[in-house]
A = this chain, B = another copy of it.
Amino acid sequence: MSSIKKVVLAYSGGLDTSVIVKWLQETYNCEVVTFTADIGQGEEVEPARAKAQALGVKEIYIDDLREEYVRDFVFPMFRANAIYEGEYLLGTSIARPLISKRLIEIANETGADAISHGATGKGNDQVRFELGAYALKPGVKVIAPWREWDLNSRDKLMAYCEEHNIPVDFSKGKKKSPYSMDANLLHISYEGGVLEDPWTEAEEDMWRWSVSPEAAPDQPTYIDLTYEKGDIVAIDGERLSPATVLERLNKVAGDNGIGRLDIVENRYVGMKSRGCYETPGGTVMMKAHRAIESITLDREVAHLKDELMPKYAELIYNGYWWSPERQMLQTAIDQTQEHVNGDVRLKLYKGGVHVVGRRSAESLFDEKVATFEDDAGAYDQKDAEGFIKLNALRMRIAANKGRKLR
């Protein structure tokens, strides 16, 4: 343990990571560098500075990463229509690789030989943080206090704080939530508490980012989203930066009761876990991206994307953003987005996102061919006979040879 000289810690400023600062200093007799990022979690990050200073930290990094987060992580993921296990929009998963990247950059800048984080040994986040760290700096040491120490109860933590003069008061005032929560610009998550019984409905007052569908306005809200190369660049005609796009969508969608999700998911470490999520903007983006793709993507390209998507989503969920296979898939996905340009019109209403229109200068929808009216020869219906007959040929031969279908 004495071999570690300096460690960069992903520091939220909260009680747990404050304890970790002290524990690292004491246990490893090493210098701690703190890194606090604004990735849209909705809390001030600047207060973390004074807290870190009070803990004796000399090198303190506080970054606003919101634009980088949406531009380089959220948007590329939505190009893939990534959904994990049919439901989950990967709101926690996609924030982790950015944290890993900054931890390693700061380790390189400060000459640190280790990184540390406050994720437990049961969850996915430890995997995501550490796979990223190892991939980007293979010799780095990783310290995961929750896997090492014995402070695994609230009482022990509190005793540790008292013993080490860690000001517990900064968690006062807020009533301690019964849930384990995590937030970033894409979503907020809830686990634990009554949710540990998958048959128990989540309580209404748990949700924070959206009103209930019942409480949403009685009139629908219409919005137009403009896409360029698969990314949203404007809302209702107003050109916006990536993070601003997502902030605006979170607001309008949350106001309309959109984006709540309650699932049981399969963690990479092997257990099932119940989680509730609010992803207001992301829920809108998913629907809208499929809609703009529906008129601009070739059929077979779209189907290939659909076949690759579960694998891509699994990679992100499991923590393999920083891997050559994710990059291989991303290259393919990004190549398909060249023509994914145009507008989608949506109706938001009491928890529902309804696509009502889509248009594109590069649309592959051909009214002349598709029409029920006279198509002036754009399509020769007689071609269908040969098409069907040859597609049926192998089955006809099989049936002629006596094969039975059940």
Is the beta-carbon distance between A349 and B214 smaller than 8 angstroms? yes
Interface string of A253-272 (1 = CB under 8 A from B): 00000001011111001111
Enumerate chain B residues within 8 angstroms of A152, measured Cβ to Cβ.
374
The segment from A7-15, A105-113, A123-131, A237-245 found at the interface with B is: A123-131
A27 within 8 A of B: no
The segment from A33-41, A48-56, A60-68, A383-391 found at the interface with B is: A383-391
Given contacts A363-B401, A392-B135, A397-B364, contact A269 B328 (CB under 8 A): no
Is the beta-carbon distance between A86 and B290 smaller than 8 angstroms? yes
Give bound CA distance, A173 to B147, whole Å: 50
Q: From residue 182 to 213 of chain A, which have CB atoms closer than 8 A to chain B?
A: 191-192, 196-202, 213
Q: From residue 213 to 245 of chain A, which have CB atoms closer than 8 A to chain B?
A: 213-214, 218, 220
Question: Nearest 8 A-B pairs (CB), nearest first?
Answer: A121-B381, A386-B386, A270-B393, A383-B386, A266-B299, A138-B396, A332-B332, A134-B392
Enumerate chain B residues within 8 angstroms of A401, measured Cβ to Cβ.
362-364, 366
CB distance from A341 to the nearest CB of B (A): 12
Indicate which residue in B135, B302, B336 contacts A395 across the interface (CB closer than 8 Å): B135
Is the beta-carbon distance between A180 and B372 smaller than 8 angstroms? yes
Is the beta-carbon distance between B371 and A196 smaller than 8 angstroms? yes
Interface string of A294-311 (1 = CB under 8 A from B): 110011111110110011
A165 within 8 A of B: no
A96 within 8 A of B: no
A251 within 8 A of B: no
A358 within 8 A of B: yes
Q: From residue 303 to 360 of chain A, which have CB atoms closer than 8 A to chain B?
A: 303-304, 306-307, 310-311, 314, 320, 322-325, 327-329, 331-332, 335-336, 339, 345, 347, 349-352, 354-359
Give bound CA distance, A347 to B261, whole Å: 12
17 contacts between A and B (CB under 8 A): A85-B294, A85-B306, A122-B379, A135-B398, A147-B385, A198-B358, A201-B345, A263-B294, A270-B390, A270-B394, A271-B379, A274-B365, A298-B324, A324-B398, A350-B352, A379-B393, A384-B390
CB distance from A328 to the nearest CB of B (A): 5
Given contacts A295-B198, A370-B196, contact A270 B406 (CB under 8 A): no
Chain A contact patch, size range: 35 or more
CB distance from A179 to the nearest CB of B (A): 9
A144 within 8 A of B: yes
Given contacts A332-B329, A335-B327, A369-B397, contact A307 B311 (CB under 8 A): yes
Is the beta-carbon distance between B307 and A387 smaller than 8 angstroms? no
Give bound CA distance, A261 to B182, whole Å: 32
Main secondary structure on A side of the interface with B: mixed
A73 within 8 A of B: no
Enumerate chain B residues within 8 angstroms of A46, measured Cβ to Cβ.
none
A400 within 8 A of B: yes
Is the beta-carbon distance between A264 and B398 smaller than 8 angstroms? no
Indicate which residue in B130, B314, B332 contacts A328 across the interface (CB closer than 8 Å): B332
Is the beta-carbon distance between A335 and B331 smaller than 8 angstroms? yes
Given contacts A126-B388, A137-B399, A202-B356, contact A271 B327 (CB under 8 A): no
Enumerate chain B residues within 8 angstroms of A162, measured Cβ to Cβ.
none
Is the beta-carbon distance between A399 and B269 smaller than 8 angstroms? no
Is the beta-carbon distance between B310 and A394 smaller than 8 angstroms? no
Give bound CA distance, A356 to B385, whole Å: 38
Give bound CA distance, A262 to B265, whole Å: 29
A382 within 8 A of B: yes
